[in-house]
Structure 1
Amino acid sequence: MTESDDSALARQLAHFGLSDTEIQTYLAVLENGEAKASTIADATGVSKRYVYSVCEELEDQGFVEVNDHVVPTKIRAKRPEDVIEILSNRLEEIEPALERRFSAAETRPQRFDVIKSRVTVVKRINEYISEAEYRVAISIPHSTLPQVREALQDAVERGVLVLLLVTDTDTDGSEFAEYDRPVASAIRSWNVPIPVMIAVDRELGVISSSEMMTVANSDERAISLAQKRIVPTLFGSFLANFWLSADEVYVIEPAPLGRTYESIEHAVFQATLQLRAGNSVTARVEATSNADHEATETVTGRVLETNQGIAEPVTNEFPIEHSLVLETDEGRTTIGGHGAFLEEYAARTITLEDAE
């Protein structure tokens, strides 16, 4: 084996956690096939006692066999194919953890798409709803609702907050109460042809004119976007410009307590429903303090009130304000969501529990 081969092999072995001394010892054993500790000591420049110690570590990791039933003790290198199998098994053992970590960190490419077909718009809306993890806000003509109804119902069943604004209709909401499954967490209606829009979580969105969905052979275009910096703004525009101007026609029953929410809007909405039902609620919040944006801490307290703009009567001062006011052991404190700046804490997760 040449010096360059030795260096390359040493670098590869280091990737598997072997120290420099273990690598040099193992290479010396490989070179000899089987050798006495004294021979390995001479080749590596370390004491014979230390060779025994290092070889025991190498034996535990499956690289060598130490035969101490003979005198002097012999160290034998395991067959290369056996070592490769051991190393391969180690890689297979960490694969599930790597996959989980990769999935958690994987991000969708940021993009804009111009859509020319109504069929494609509906398909994209259904696709995005099916991917929702915690929040959907959608405005859509009443005539188009049947085409996305099932996807919205599935999202509600998954525990997603669904805000549905039905346009071009004078519905009083009675039809929604008759559905076999809730189609949304809250529904408002507005008898005007406002733009079709959907904002899913903090990343996915679609915008089109109402005409594209309701007029045959329309030459209008829609925009589909996957943009983390823009979709939250789209959600805020939905609340401020359209939601609050429409009439509330349906609000879902409060979910059972004991659930954890990643969306501040959903947690505040559910806490509001519980308080209005006369229930006492405790919130356990994993949050970062606005005084220290890095350290995560647990804040627990009884929910005193909520600031929200989803269910009537609205209690927030501006449309995107959604927060909890808690009574903790240290006194009153306020909990906001992602990027909160008015509140004392920015929540990562919120668990609502029975305070009784």
Structure 2
Amino acid sequence: MDDASLEDLLQRFGFSDKEVDTYLTILALGEAKASTIADDAGVSKRYVYSIAETLEDRGFVEVNDHVVPTTIRANEPEDVVEALTGDLQEMRPALESRFSRTAPRSESFEVVKSRVTVLKRVAELVDRAEVEVTLAIPYRLLDEVAEELRAAVDRGVLVVLIVTDVDPAADLELDGLASVARAWEQPMPTMLTVDQQAGIVAPGEMLSRSDSTAQAIVFAQEQLGPVIVGSFLGNYLPMAAEVYTADPTGLPATFQDFRHAVLEATLHLRANDAVRARVTGRSVSDDLDVAELEGQVVEIRQGLLEPATNDFPVENTLFVETDEGTFSVGGQGAFVEDFEADAVELLPSE
């Protein structure tokens, strides 16, 4: 084994570059004073003493501090390997007890050539939704997936729906099928995302013409999901007119989907209900170093409900007034806000 391969292996055991250089120097010298090791490894004498304690704890060296000057001796490689092997074997039962035997998440694409199959896939995916659905579909085909949409809403999934090819002023039957729904007279692609991980994109003509040769794509790909959601919210939702909004959820309520929390907080504030938020996640701003925020929701930026209050189409932000100040909160991947939320609990204000 060459030196580069040995260095890579040591790094897998948590060694930094400097630690690797220092340990290999000790191995080459066998036993030496800290000053000698420091000169050969190109590090400070103080660093050698510091790393020697760590290496001794790991079983790689022995520090002889009962002599003057102190020397550091490399342990026999056979003993080092035996100790490491023993540690790994000791870890095995604990690792196995915590291991969840789930199937690996697959990433796939499927080409669909028929309208019937597209609608079948939409129903199947909506039925699997856990936190969020975005769907654009011709209104005349809504009944084909209405049962699955209603069930998703009933189990607490955020459903953002656009019905297309229909007059927004018409008497549309949307009650219970969405959290918020909009209508657009124009045709558009049928688009579905479920939990930002899977979905469908089908050209508009594929569902409007029986003789169409167009094809749809069904995908299960984590990197593609957010892109489709961004296009749905940024390019198409603002073009449609709001025609239905569900009643606000009773509080307290906890949301894993940040957009859902923003929607519900907006509905409550517009109903003149003061709302508090308890947010868990992580700090984004250097001025904030906490894992949880709690306080009054004093401002919201969003584009799910009309009128939009955000500065750009996909912005969804809660402003939470705490005892330490007012901080902006965004969803997963937040970078312009002060705090990135994993979960939000909305509570009635005391």
TM-score (norm 2): 0.69
- Of the three residues 286, 304, 314, the one matched with 2:280 is 286
Structure 1 residue 171, shift from structure 2 partner? 3.8
Number of equivalenced pairs: 254
User: Any idea what the Cα deviations from partners look like across 1:95-139, whole Å, max 9, x if unmatched?
Assistant: 8x65xx344xx5531111111111111111111111111111110
Which protein is bigger by CA-based radius of gyration?
1
- Of the three residues 259, 264, 271, the one matched with 1:265 is 259
Q: 1:164 corresponds to which residue?
A: 161
CA RMSD in angstroms comes to 1.8
Contact 1:176–1:250, Cα closer than 8 Å, also in 2: no
Structure 1 unaligned regions, length at least 5: 1-90
Alignment partner of 1:300 is 2:297:
no
Q: 1:56 corresponds to which residue?
A: none
Q: 2:204 corresponds to which residue?
A: 210
1:214-293 alignment to 2 at 5 Å?
Answer: 214-291=208-285
Alignment partner of 1:113 is 2:113:
no
**Partner amino acid, structure 2, of 1:300:** E
Contact 1:140–1:196, Cα closer than 8 Å, also in 2: yes
Q: 2:310 corresponds to which residue?
A: 316
Structure 2 unaligned regions, length at least 5: 1-92
Contact 2:168–2:241, Cα closer than 8 Å, also in 1: no
Q: Which 4+ runs in 1 deviate beyond 6 A?
A: none
> SS of the residue aligned with 1:143?
helix
Structure 1 residue 175, shift from structure 2 partner? 3.1
Q: Aligned equivalents of 1:132 and 1:213: distance in 2? A: 23
> SS of the residue aligned with 1:175?
coil
Q: 1:184 corresponds to which residue?
A: 178
Structure 1 residue 212, shift from structure 2 partner? 0.9
Q: Aligned equivalents of 2:104 and 2:225: distance in 1? A: 15
**Partner amino acid, structure 2, of 1:238:** F
Q: 2:50 corresponds to which residue?
A: none
Q: Aligned equivalents of 1:112 and 1:287: distance in 2? A: 32
1:1-356 alignment to 2 at 5 Å?
Answer: 98=99, 101-103=100-102, 106-172=103-169, 174-176=171-173, 179=175, 182-291=176-285, 297-356=291-350
Q: Aligned equivalents of 1:173 and 1:336: distance in 2? A: 36
Structure 1 residue 337, shift from structure 2 partner? 0.4
Contact 1:108–1:226, Cα closer than 8 Å, also in 2: no
Structure 1 residue 317, shift from structure 2 partner? 0.6
User: Any idea what the Cα deviations from partners look like across 1:302-337, whole Å, max 9, x if unmatched?
Assistant: 100111000011000111110100100101001100
Distance 1:146 1:355, change over 3 A: same
Distance 1:271 1:107, change over 3 A: farther
**Partner amino acid, structure 2, of 1:127:** E
User: Any idea what the Cα deviations from partners look like across 1:143-165, whole Å, max 9, x if unmatched?
Assistant: 11110111111110010110110
